[in-house]
Structure 1
Amino acid sequence: MTIGCHGLVWTGVFDAPGIRLAAEKTKQAGFDLIEYPLMDPFSFDVAAARSALDEHGLQVSASLGLSEATDISSEDASVVAAGEALLLRAVDVLADLGGTYFCGVIYSAMKKYLEPATPQGIANSQRVIARVADHAAERGVRVAVEVVNRYETNVLNTSRQALAYLAEIDRPNLGVHLDTYHMNIEESDMFAPVLDAADALHYVHIGESHRGYLGTGSVDFDTFFRALARLDYQGPITFESFSSVVVAPDLSRMLGIWRNLWTDNDDLGAHANAFIRGKLAAVDTIRPH
């Protein structure tokens, strides 16, 4: 199992120096993988990232959240087309980096909507995701749609919603991305949604209820990790945390990162790596062999 860390734990700027810094810090904290946010895949420095990955011996994944200008659940054809172009480019960037997992809020804008999603908007989203999945398959990439809370999308808030959305697309390389921070808000428990996803679970984010140090909030991690063990989940498990110490301006405003939940990301990252590996070791002792 691959244990990773989101690049935004280390920096809010992903120019060449930021790319290299994030990789260096990820390795120092003991992780196997770095998740780069590809909010602008057209300007992402692939050569710098490839060099940093090679230098530090890291695997890579990529994620993003669409904006209003690239919202593929829009009824505006030009906006949908812009979103599709961005997603296809992000897949190519990840594939060029040697990564095989592309995830995130890639099916709608990442924002608080003021109305429910429309049938036409959902159909537009599914049509584009099908094409993205097909392109990704050609590049050896798996695609996972991230289930997030009601304040960040009006399309997929629960594991079962994601499964219903994906059933109408039916691509073998397309699956579900669960995040404990969002599950803690929207799901009834931390066990059933994992088992509901079953083989469709392709990617996992580990985040605390307040997005700070793992184990200091209200997320039931023990139950969640037991569910992963029940499935014999073998995909990436990636730590994600935000503080106003590390700021990516647009994203920080959208996510409401208004306070410092931590100030020392070196300590935070090392703690998260040990926490995740400790939970996995614990559930392994009670799993049939």
Structure 2
Amino acid sequence: MRRLGIHSFVWTGGQTQEGLERALEQSAEHGYRCIEFAYLRPELFDLDRLARKSQDLDVQIGVTMGLPLDKDVSSEDPDAVAAGKAMLADAVRAVRDIGGDKLGGILYSAHTKYNRQPTAGGWANSVQAIAETAELAEKAGVDLVLEVVNRFETNLLNTAAQGMKFIADTGNDHVRLHLDTFHMQMEEANLAAAIRMAGDKIGYFHIGESNRGYLGDGTIDWDRVFDALAEIGYDRDVVFESFSTAVVDEGLSLACAIWRDTWTDSAPLAAHAKQFIDLKWAEALRRQATNRRA
């Protein structure tokens, strides 16, 4: 079942319990049926309370994260790899405990701009770590989705084709791709072709404009993106993601280079995004139906 969701950083920097609960409430008020939280440290938040809030509002929680350098599973340092595996296992448990249904993001490497090429040994270490994490996630009832991001945020998976090779190497069907239009418009020669190539291996999809701001104000050809999603019959979650210095987590701001206000008021941004995505989906489905009759 396809649900339309929104990233919690549209509403809050995510540092407080109150902020996360308010983000759930505001998402529900705007008609979103799922929300994405950044990595939740169980010692800082009441996960049971967030789970109850999510259930009461009928807003499904998903969680995304990136690994720090000292827990980089694509490293050739066995201590870093072991620490990364432990962090991923903890994250799976946290998602389970909050009633979430997916763990995504940059799970396969550090979330950073690397100063070196990836290595064959690092790739192998990452593949093994993700395969092991996928087994834990499947037992916990949590989907595992790997976000393919731009060259300034990882050196390992920058294109859907690289992502497909990686998940094939894990040998685990529980691992899927997490594609994001913001990253794709930098790295893919053709966004629609990449979506069609990945097909049913896409487990999660981020809708984000090229400038991180209002949808339609950047350079992405949204008709082609939605036509491709409709063509492959994509029926999993679609989440709107937008970052601004108006509301941002400090760590994310540094990792993703969020240096300016792409917007200043959350509510109109969220309302516009829902309207925009609903409209583009409807238009794509109408075109698909017309093409079938032709």
Q: Normalised by the shorter chain, which TM-score bucket? A: over 0.9
Matches within 5 A, 1:140-151: 140-151=141-152
**Alpha-carbon distance between aligned partners in 1 of 2:43 and 2:75, rounded to the nearest angstrom:** 22
The two structures have a TM-score, normalised by structure 1, of: 0.96
Counterpart AA for 1:233:
Y
Alpha-carbon spacing, 1:104–1:257, altered in 2? closer, same or farther (3 Å): same
Deviation at 1:39, TM superposition (A): 5.5
**Alpha-carbon distance between aligned partners in 2 of 1:70 and 1:16, rounded to the nearest angstrom:** 26
Q: Which runs of 4+ in 1 moved over 6 A?
A: none
Alpha-carbon spacing, 1:92–1:222, altered in 2? closer, same or farther (3 Å): same
Counterpart AA for 1:101:
K
Q: Secondary structure at the match of 1:135?
A: helix
Deviation at 1:9, TM superposition (A): 1.0
Matches within 5 A, 1:7-18: 7-18=8-19
Q: Secondary structure at the match of 2:123?
A: helix
Structure 1: any 5+ residue segments left out of the alignment? none
1:66/1:109 contact within 8 Å kept = yes
The two structures have a TM-score, normalised by structure 2, of: 0.95
How many residues are matched?
Answer: 289
Deviation per CA, 1:2-36, whole angstroms, max 9, x where unpaired? Answer: 00001111111332112101111111222110111
Counterpart AA for 1:195:
R
Deviation per CA, 1:238-271, whole angstroms, max 9, x where unpaired? Answer: 0111000112111111111110000001111111
Corresponding residue number in structure 1 for 2:265: 264
1:239/1:272 contact within 8 Å kept = yes
Deviation at 1:195, TM superposition (A): 0.9
Corresponding residue number in structure 2 for 1:206: 207
**Alpha-carbon distance between aligned partners in 1 of 2:234 and 2:45, rounded to the nearest angstrom:** 31
Counterpart AA for 1:274:
Q
Deviation per CA, 1:11-67, whole angstroms, max 9, x where unpaired? Answer: 113321121011111112221101111163554431231122123221111111111
Q: Secondary structure at the match of 1:162?
A: helix
Q: Secondary structure at the match of 1:286?
A: helix
Deviation at 1:218, TM superposition (A): 0.5
Matches within 5 A, 1:68-79: 68-79=69-80
Matches within 5 A, 1:1-289: 1-38=2-39, 40=41, 43-288=44-289
Q: Secondary structure at the match of 2:128?
A: helix
Q: Secondary structure at the match of 1:191?
A: helix
Deviation per CA, 1:170-193, whole angstroms, max 9, x where unpaired? Answer: 212111110000000000111110
Deviation per CA, 1:145-171, whole angstroms, max 9, x where unpaired? Answer: 101000000000000000011111121
Task: Work out the percentage of aligned pairs sharing the same amino acid.
Answer: 40
Counterpart AA for 1:61:
G
RMSD: 1.3
Structure 2: any 5+ residue segments left out of the alignment? none
Deviation at 1:223, TM superposition (A): 0.5
